[in-house]
Copies of this chain bind each other. A is one copy, B any other.
Amino acid sequence: MKKIIETVPNFSEGRDRNNIERIILPFKGHDNVKLLDVHTDADHNRMVVTAVGEPEALKHAVIEAVGVAVKVIDMPAHRGEHPRMGAVDVVPLIPIKNATMEEAITLSKEVAREIWETYHLPVFLYEESASTPIRKNLADIRKGQFEGMPEKLKSSEWKPDFGEREIHPTAGVVAVGARMPLIAFNVNLDTNNLEIARAIAKTVRYSSGGLKYCKAIGIALKERNITQVSMNMTDYTQTPLHQALELVRTEAKRYGVNVVGSEIVGLVPMAALVDSAAYYMGFEDFNIEKVLEAKMME
């Protein structure tokens, strides 16, 4: 049974076609690594790569790609709308199949050490790999962005986990860490009243008393004249998608509002959808082993 890890590194390059090709090349050239998706955004000047593979092979590919990014991206000259703190903003490592979170954490620390030792790019460990609670959240690490990092690294709490209190001059710093698969799940409401979407988001999200593995905000979909509860499901094995959807639906009733659709942004693990299908269809004694493709991938 092959172990499969996913990585979704974010690179601060979304414009130069040549650089983009060079950065993703390592994910194409390794056995036992598969490049699934490349999403570039010129406004953000940023690229999100999705790849899966066996742990060792994926580790080498991601380290190699980081090396290319450090070489070709010049952060002092970088402009773009998305917050960023380095040539490689973040390297998440996600256990997908036959791999535990513990193994993903170990792998993330190997990646972090090698990035520092090879490229002298300082690394913060984040999420499940974080060395302290204030480093769990990527947004907290990134606060201050590339321009504010030199000063931030000098403050007592912000010595990198690997590296010294000094940024890489052209590549800044990077966050590396293990986390669960994240599912971007949006639910649309038949109201253009943004206050209602925001109130529902507040009810379903963990930070204000809602579901443990759910982040949510209310946003307007102006062209459609409706609103949306935009969610990040941070552990679908603990907080399933259908739970979030049904809670939004139930809360919406309070305002005389209905759910009119939903969407998944990016990729979603099969198990998350199979789990929700089993819920809605009332399967007794179902498990993922009954799915042909799950058996095929064993």
Contacts and interface: CB of A to CB of B under 8 A. Distances in A.
Copy count, this protein chain = 2
Contacts of A241: 281
A269 to B, nearest CB: 5
A270 B297 contact: no
Interface of A is mostly: mixed
A34 B281 CA distance: 29
Interface residues of A, number: 43
Contact of A297 (B260, B293, B295): B293
B264 A296 contact: no
Of listed A34, A263, A293, residue having the most chain B CB within 10 A: A293
Contacts of A263: 283-286
Of listed A268, A277, A286, A292, residue having the most chain B CB within 10 A: A292
B280 A267 contact: no
10 smallest A-B Cβ distances: which pairs?
Answer: A280-B280, A277-B277, A273-B277, A270-B293, A261-B284, A267-B292, A36-B295, A276-B277, A261-B282, A269-B292
A37 interface: yes
Given A263-B286, A274-B274, 8 more contacts: A181-B292, A241-B281, A260-B282, A263-B284, A268-B290, A270-B270, A277-B277, A296-B297
